[in-house]
């Protein structure tokens, strides 16, 4: 196995291991907002509102799954729907004020945990790690 292949194998192993734990970690940190709900809210924040179909495409979920997730988030008062005047079928989803506040809280508590974990990394390493992750995720 070449050096290159070994690196790829390591990346594979570590990413898998991370993915596997992510759900449980998220659930422990804030039981009120699952990993999926959290990412949906975050996406709404980033995009400043989007359609359910967009969420489904972006997160590789079935539209029925998104429909139910959104219904739950609406029940919690975190998102609201605004019918697109140009197309009555479309519901543009937006964060409510409460949704934005909750998202901010959860993001902050996650960040604290992450900061602790990365406490002994120096700034240059953090910067490069962040860059690699961004590059990896962009590559699709």
Residue 12: contacted member of DNA, a copy of itself, none (CB under 5 to 8 Å, by partner type): a copy of itself
Residue 98 binding a copy of itself, by CB under 8 A: no
Q: Say if CB 67 and CB 52 are below 8 A apart.
A: yes
> Does residue number 125 form part of the binding site for a copy of itself (CB under 8 A)?
yes
- Tokens representing 76 are 């919690």
Shortest distance, position 112 Cβ to DNA, whole Å: 22
- Is the alpha carbon torsion for 115, 117, 123, 128 positive or negative? negative
Q: Which of residues 31, 48, 60, 86 is near a copy of itself by CB under 8 A? A: 60
**Residue 91: half-sphere exposure toward Cβ, Cα within 13 Å:** 13
- Choose, by CB under 7 A, the member of 29, 30, 36, 43 that binds DNA: 36
Q: Which one, 79 or 103, has the nearer CB to a copy of itself?
A: 103
Contacts of 13 (CB under 8 A, 6+ apart): none
Residue 22's binding partner among a copy of itself, DNA, none (Cβ under 5 to 8 angstroms by kind) is: a copy of itself
Q: Does 23 bind DNA (CB under 7 A)?
A: yes
Query: For a copy of itself, which residue of 29, 42, 50, 100 counts as binding (CB under 8 A)?
Result: 42
Q: Residues 43, 45, 49, 72: which binds DNA (CB under 7 A)?
A: 72
What SS3 class is residue 95?
strand
| Spatial strand order in the sheet of 79-83 | 50-51, 91-95, 79-83
């Amino acid at each position: 196995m070449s050096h290159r292949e070994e690196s790829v194998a390591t990346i594979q192993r570590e990413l898998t291991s991370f993915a596997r734990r992510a759900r449980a970690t998220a659930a422990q940190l804030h039981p009120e907002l699952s990993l999926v709900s959290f990412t949906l809210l975050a996406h709404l924040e980033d995009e400043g509102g989007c359609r359910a179909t967009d969420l489904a495409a972006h997160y590789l979920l079935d539209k029925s799954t998104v429909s139910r997730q959104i219904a739950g988030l609406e029940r919690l008062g975190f998102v609201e729907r605004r019918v697109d005047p140009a197309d009555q079928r479309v519901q543009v989803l937006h964060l409510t004020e409460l949704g934005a506040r909750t998202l901010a809280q959860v993001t902050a508590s996650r960040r604290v945990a992450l900061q602790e974990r990365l406490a002994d990394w120096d700034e240059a390493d953090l910067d490069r790690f962040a860059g690699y992750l961004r590059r990896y995720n962009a590559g699709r």
